[in-house]
Amino acid sequence: MITIEQTQNLLSIAVLGEFSLADFRQFEEHALLMLKSPGTVNLLFDLRDMLSYTVDVVWEEIKFFRHEHQHDFSKIAVVTDDQWITWQAWLSRIFVDAEICVFADYAEAKTWVTTV
């Protein structure tokens, strides 16, 4: 399950429990709408309460960020204390033009992702 909050240039996503393909589609729908607006789009992923994700989410993430929208986001903040997710975020820097930073603290992540 996910929750989504949207402001003018920030899309905040919190994952609770399992991150499913339906959840990813919901995120994708919001992101695509924001990308139609002028200006930069930043993302804030709060993954502290994510327990797992389905394999199809991984494939969709690769298609969405690395092939279809690799140049469309300015900053991506990831909040987690999971070393595997941290490593995945680090690896994503190779494929995405956005600045990507991993945080353990949500407030620090939000400050970073909203600062110009």
Counting as low any pLDDT under 70, the low residues of the chain are 67-68, 70, 87, 90-95
H-type alpha helices, the chain: 21-35, 55-61, 83-92, 106-114
pLDDT of residue 108: 98
**For position 60, which CATH number holds?**
3.40.50.10600
Indicate the number of domains in the chain: 1
Q: What is the reported pLDDT for 91?
A: 65
Integer distance in angstroms from the first to the last C-alpha of the chain?
A: 30
Say what the pLDDT of residue 28 is: 93
How much is the pLDDT for 26? 96
Burial of 74 (0-12, 13-18, 19+ CB in 10 A): middle
**36 CB contacts (<8 Å, ≥6 apart)?**
none
What is the pLDDT, as a whole number, of residue 56? 86
Domain that holds residue 50: 2-114
